[in-house]
Structure 1
Amino acid sequence: MAVAELGAVVLDCPDPRALAGFYAEVLGGSVEDQGDWVDLSLPGGRTLSFQAAPGFVPPKWPDPEHSQQIHLDLDVPDLDAAEQAVLALGATPLETEDRTRTFRVYADPAGHPFCLCAG
């Protein structure tokens, strides 16, 4: 029997409203602004949350000396189309050398790494 149920994944960032808006464009859902905390209610009932973090420093990708801690894998039907969409929304490519893989790595506007994965 499980002890708990996952409530939300929370990303620290300098501007929770802006980052929630980015992910709302990428994943859909509705944004619920609560000041220093913003929830993105996703289709299917999951929640991705964003918390204001003064002094936020984004992780580096790749950094063999320091773990990135967490990243999101986002399944997409078309890697090329999804890439164009996230770049237009403000994502930054983090790896561009191997375009034959079934995933591609980006940073969101606050610097969190995420992958688009062929789904």
Structure 2
Amino acid sequence: MSVAKVGAVVLDCPDPRALAGFYAGLVGGTIVDEGEWVDLKADGGPTLAFQAAPGYVAPEWPSADRSQQFHLDLTVEDLDAAEKEVLALGARPLDADDRSRTFRVYADPAGHPFCLCAC
């Protein structure tokens, strides 16, 4: 049994609309523009989301100094129950104190950020 399912793959970028347009040209789908956050509802796959990142520095590959930049949004039925499970698996909270939000931010054991998001 799994704890969560992939809700979106999120890419930080300087211009979410432009990057969403690029990926829409590659994979198709519908763009949902919310300003600093843009979703691409891709046909037959998870949502690609694009988040404005002030001071964005593009990744270089391969490079340890400027590695690839993205995070996973994982949708869950119950944030509290899922939090207990991800912490037991070795995650650590990054921004999970605000219980009024519909998401919480954690780091995986290697330090990559991911969010648990309420369905």
Q: TM-score, normalised by structure 1?
A: 0.54
2:37 paired with 1:66: no
AA partner of residue 35 (structure 1): G
**Where in structure 2 are the equivalents of 1:40-59 lying within 5 Å?**
40-59=40-59
AA partner of residue 42 (structure 2): L
Gaps (5+ residues) in structure 1?
72-119
* Structure-1 residue corresponding to 2:85: none
Greater strand percent: which structure? 2
* Structure-2 residue corresponding to 1:105: none
Q: TM-score, normalised by structure 2?
A: 0.54
Task: After superposition, give the CA deviation of every residue in 1:77-110 in whole Å (9 maximum; x if it has no partner).
Answer: xxxxxxxxxxxxxxxxxxxxxxxxxxxxxxxxxx
Identity %: 63
Tell me how far 1:27 sits from its aligned partner: 0.8
* Structure-2 residue corresponding to 1:11: 11
For the residue of structure 2 that corresponds to 1:69, the secondary structure is coil
Task: After superposition, give the CA deviation of every residue in 1:20-54 in whole Å (9 maximum; x if it has no partner).
Answer: 00000011111000010000000114200000000
Q: Is the 8 A contact 2:8 2:49 kept in 1?
A: yes
Runs ≥4 residues deviating over 4 A: none
* Structure-2 residue corresponding to 1:32: 32
Cα–Cα, structure 1 residues 48 and 21, in superposed 2: closer, same or farther, change >3 Å? same
Tell me how far 1:9 sits from its aligned partner: 0.3
Over the residues paired in the alignment, what is the CA RMSD in angstroms? 1.7
Aligned length: 70
